[in-house]
Structure formats: C-alpha cells, structure tokens
Amino acid sequence: MYLLLAFRAMRTFIVVGHKAITTPNFSLEDIPGTSGRLDILCRAVTAAFVLSHGIRKDVCVYLILLGGEVPKTIRLVGETLRHLNPDERTTAALLKKALAVPATPLWAMSTSGIFVRTGGLEQLLADLKDARLIYLREDGADIRNLDEGLDACSLSGEAAFILGDHTGMTPEEECLIEQAGAKVVSLGSTSLHADHCIVLINWLLDNKPFATVC
C-alpha cells in the first residue's frame, strides 16, 4: 500500500482565466458578474481536488488570472490544502484571500496550500519545462486512443493539463503552448466546461486501462 502511494504521480491542472480579476474587489454575492468569471476557476478547483469524502492529495492546480493590469497566478497544492469545501462560494472566498496577499514574482502563501505570485502563462510554462504538457482542445487527438496514436506515457508520470476558460486561448497563448511542446488532446467533439474536463481527466487517470505506467 505504501509502495503504491509512493509511486502515485502528481496531476497538475493549469486553467487560464482571461478576464479573471486579480484583486479581491469582487462580490461573493455575484461572483460571475463581478470577478471576470472567477466562478469558472472556482469550479475547476473543486473538480480537481474534491472527492466524495476527501481531498485529492496528488493534485496541483495553477489558476492564471489575466483580468488585471499585471497577471497573477494562484497555486493550490492538494497535499497541504485546507478549508476547501465543495461549494463555489467557499472556494471564491479562499481565492479572494489569496488575491489580497501582496504579490511579487516569488510565491507567497495565503492560506494553507494556496500560494500567489505575479506572472502568467509564459512564466509558468518555463517553470514546468520538465513536465509532460497536455493541452485540451476539441480538435486534438482522441484521449481514449492515446495508447494507439500517441505516447501512452503522456497520461502517466508528471503530466500537466492545460485548459482554457469560456473565451478560448489567444493565438499568442496557442503559440506559447506549442513552443512548450504540449500535445494537443481532445475529450471529444462536444465543447465542455473546464471543470467538467478536469472531472473526466481525473476519472481517466483513476481508471486508466490504456495508459500503462512507464
């Protein structure tokens, strides 16, 4: 049991919020209308971490917030994450606290397991240069055929999954992601919300018969 746990690979999710606010000046009574759709990122956090009776310890989430003058990135680490409940408002309150922390280019802790810094996608991709990057896009290779068409290792080991919000990626971001060597993978032709994609990725990794451990 201990051996299995020791070898369980981290799962990283990167979600880009193109209009997401970078200050705590939004209302918990109207998250979608006052925060640049931070609600999308809240639901992505829940999807990434929350199990029926617990938190996934082996998950790390990066939220890239681009709706302010200076981009900010919030990092949530399952191993030490506290106070996360399944409801949207609680998650938004945790992010609000993180956005109240004076941010610099170095990570600063907000609450347990939640960190914030200035910087956006380019800096994060540079930090994750050793991770296997998977970019989720409707026209990518079918994720269920990875063992046939792509390297099966892509879904094991230290994989980092990149997802957009409701506005999609910009051409500049597409270029950055391509240059970083990300594989473009699809969950099907139906366009899904980021949090639903994360639920599916977690499930596929929990139950993978196709991605043999490399």
User: Which residues of this protein are in contact with a copy of itself, per CB under 8 A?
Assistant: 28-32, 39-40, 43, 47, 50-53, 85-90, 144, 166, 187-188, 190-193, 196, 199-200, 203, 206-207, 209
Amino acid identity, position 19: K
| Shortest distance (Å) from residue 51 CB to a copy of itself | 6
Our CB check for a copy of itself shows the closer of 123 and 210 to be 210
Treating both helix axes as pointing N-terminal to C-terminal, what angle do 38-49 and 88-100 enclose, rounded to 10 degrees?
Answer: 110
CA 6 to CA 51: how far, in whole Å? 20
Kindly state the smallest distance separating residue 187's Cβ from a copy of itself, in Å: 7
Cα distance between residue 55 and residue 84, in whole Å: 8
Q: Report, in Å, the least distance between residue 134 CB and a copy of itself.
A: 17
CA 109 – CA 116 distance, rounded (Å): 6
Q: CA–CA separation, 125 vs 111, rounded Å?
A: 24
CB 65 within 8 A of CB 101: no
Q: Provide the minimum distance between the beta carbon of 207 and a copy of itself in the complex, in angstroms, as a whole number.
A: 5
Q: Which is nearer to a copy of itself, 109 or 204 (CB)?
A: 204
Task: For a copy of itself, give the closer residue by CB, 33 or 181.
Answer: 33
